[in-house]
Amino acid sequence: MATKVLGSRDSCDRNTPAHVIKQGLQTFLDEHNLAAESVAALSSIALKADEAGIHAISQRQQTPFVTFEASQLADVEGIENPSEFVKKITGVSSVAEAAALKKSGSNRLLVPKWKYKQDGFNMTLACARIPADEAMAKKKWKNWLGEHCHINAHGNEVVKGYQCKPKHVDLNRPMLYHRHHVLVCEGGRCAKEGSRNLAHHLRTYLKTLGLSEGENRIKISRTHCAGTCRNRAALVIYERLASHETPINNGLWLRNIDALTEENWQQLFLALKTRTPLQQVLAEGFFAPIEDAQIEQCQ
């Protein structure tokens, strides 16, 4: 569903207090069966750019407030209620409708000019729809989660039974640092249902090496199928680089990792820690060749 944008008042009452604007907006939404969450922005003419009441509502609702010069609103298409009185005051025949249309990029109003008065202050609103397609992920969300989901500590929808890590989440804490990120291709095709996967054992092993935390931390993640079945079990390594560093093992793909012994894994992890090229510690057969995509020429 596309979002909508509200044009602010085009009546020339200065210093309208925030509580009047708030009530006017809410009444406008209620009368036209619009959701407050669908309001993408507030817009008006540049003459209103310093209105404290509008800025207060903008900050309180986290809705951007944008203004346009009169010249930008003069030739907007789709205005339904031009006013000579408004033109004498502002230089354009419409503010609310024109600002809503200008901000939305549309030439059709969802709700035309609408007037409101409270405590002696006048305000005029209009609304236009912003053309916008729904995010692809949102379209598929119901297929991923089904009907049984709840909101986790991060404010996201998750399936029943899912637990956040860590359990006591500090939303103001930055992401944990990791020097290397190892993605292990371990989809459903590669593991017996309910079995402890390789990634789990590698995380445990990293703890014994002291590489599960600190500045040399190596993070292990299991992925679903990465399309590397031709190389049997595989993984890819990503290295976090400082601005002055050159990559050593970054973007490196390994294959046949099901044949790596505990000694091999130890050599691999310690090489990552010391930024030693893995070609110096592992046999050539563990490295997956990668070719550049080539376009075949039709004869």
Which residues, at least 6 apart from 240, have a Cβ–Cβ distance to it below 8 Å? 177, 178, 179, 180, 181
Q: Are residues 14 and 98 in the same domain?
A: yes
Higher pLDDT, 231 or 122: 122
The residue segments making up the domain with residue 250 are 175-286
Residue 295: inside a domain, yes or no? no
What local confidence, expressed as pLDDT, does residue 69 receive?
93
Does a structural domain hold residue 292?
A: no
Report the SS3 class of residue 16.
Answer: coil
270 and 203 in a common domain: yes
Tally the domains of the chain: 3
On the question of pLDDT at 208 being above 90, the answer is yes
- Among the ranges given (19-28, 140-149, 184-193), the one the predictor scored with the smallest mean pLDDT: 140-149
- Looking at the fold, whether 118 and 204 belong to one and the same domain comes out as no
C-alpha separations of 55 from 36, 48, 129, 221 in Å = 17, 10, 22, 45
Is position 215 within any domain? Answer: yes
- Whether 38 is in a domain gets the answer yes
Domain identity same for 150 and 124: no
Instruction: Give yes or no: residues 93 and 144 share one domain.
Output: no
Residue 299 falls inside a structural domain: no
User: pLDDT tens digits, residue range 41-96?
Assistant: 899 999 889 999 999 998 888 888 999 999 999 989 999 999 998 888 888 999 99
How confident is the model at residue 15, as a pLDDT?
87
Q: Which CATH number goes with the domain that contains 15?
A: 3.30.420.180
CATH code, 251: 3.40.30.10
Same domain, 27 and 104: yes
Q: Are residues 108 and 23 in the same domain?
A: yes
Q: Is residue 134 part of a domain?
A: no
> If we measure between CA atoms, which residue out of 221, 219, 257, 255 comes closest to residue 239?
219
Domain boundary among 150, 173, 196: 173
- Write out the two tokens for 294: 């080539």
| pLDDT above 90 coverage of the chain, percent | 43
Residues 146 and 213 in one domain: no
Please tell me the distance from the alpha carbon of residue 182 to that of residue 222, in angstroms, as a whole number: 8
Asked if 100 and 157 sit in the same domain, the reply is: no
Cα gap 85→186, rounded to integer Å: 70
- Calculate the alpha carbon distances from 29 to 58, 71, 126 in Å: 16, 29, 11
> Does one domain contain both 196 and 236?
yes
Q: What are phi and psi of 243, to 5 degrees?
A: -60, -25
> 166 preceded by cis ω (within 30°)?
yes
